Amino acid sequence: MTLQIADRWFEFRRISDDITLIWEPHASRLMQCNIWHVRGRDRDLLIDTGFGVASLHEAARHLFDKPLSAVATHAHVDHVGSLHEFSDRIIHKAEAADIEVQGENFSLYRHDHPPEMIDSLERAGYQVGPTFITAIPHANFNMTLFTRKAAPATRTVDEGDVIDLGDRRFEVLHLPGHSAGSIGLWEAATATLFSGDAIYDGPLLDQLPGSDIPTYIRTMRRLESLPARVVHAGHDPSFDGRRLKELARAYLDRH
């Protein structure tokens, strides 16, 4: 199979004066993580960094005019691929070891992955195509030899820690279940939650290595009662507080 070379790898959408959404249109839906850039007075925040098959730092350099903290909501490859390109790297302590070292080879072909893993993703609601990307970022890109680079954390966080941008404060919510160290970033002043993969408006995954359903149930109870006005999630479109309650309730009803 020959994939086209993408014209550009990242797309940008200004959500408000100080929030920009960045995404990778040629990553398959499963692997298409939302990357959020938030402007602060003294420093900016980058929430997740995408797949890492192309340089996020280079593509988004027009946004990087201030000290920047890059936060990984968790260590899955579609969220931490470009983390190594940033000097200030934050992750929950439960997943710090995962990014300390280079990942194992991750082929971008479906047929190189265990059929049980693909089945479980499809049962959850994803259609997994023959490849995890639908175009290649540049000529000579090797689809079978792709590895997540090591990106050792420069700060680990846990429940209640604060990431301070000078005029905006984000509190770390530990939201395990999808993965052990999944976090959300909660800005109480604007009732905004950046939720990572703890919750999004799409097929939720709770059977991956590192997932835990009883733990996820506790996280969903917590999310159901969070007074959020807007949720910017790790995948799929943003939603409001009412939808947050619906999604959390739907998960709880299924379990």
Contact set with Zn ion (CB under 5 A): 33, 76, 78, 197, 234
In sequence order, the 6+-apart residues with CB closer than 8 A to the CB of 142 are none
Angle at 122 between CA 117 and CA 123, to 5 degrees: 95
Q: Taking the complex as a whole, how short is the minimal distance between the CB of residue 2 and Zn ion, in angstroms?
A: 27
Strands of the sheet with 44-47, listed across from one edge? 11-14, 19-23, 35-38, 44-47, 68-71, 89-92, 155-157
45 membership: H or E segment, kind and range:
strand 44-47
Nearest to 185 by CA among 95, 73, 39: 73
Q: Taking the complex as a whole, how short is the minimal distance between the CB of residue 15 and Zn ion, in angstroms?
A: 19
Show the DSSP H helices in 103-166 as ranges. 115-124
Q: Which tokens sit at 64? A: 């990087």
Q: Taking the complex as a whole, how short is the minimal distance between the CB of residue 51 and Zn ion, in angstroms?
A: 10
Q: Taking the complex as a whole, how short is the minimal distance between the CB of residue 125 and Zn ion, in angstroms?
A: 14
Residue with Cβ nearer Zn ion (39 or 98):
98
Residue with Cβ nearer Zn ion (87 or 127):
127
Query: Could you give phi then psi for residue 83, rounded to 5 degrees?
Result: -60, -35
Residue with Cβ nearer Zn ion (44 or 95):
95
Q: Taking the complex as a whole, how short is the minimal distance between the CB of residue 213 and Zn ion, in angstroms?
A: 15
Residue with Cβ nearer Zn ion (28 or 69):
28
Residue with Cβ nearer Zn ion (39 or 76):
76
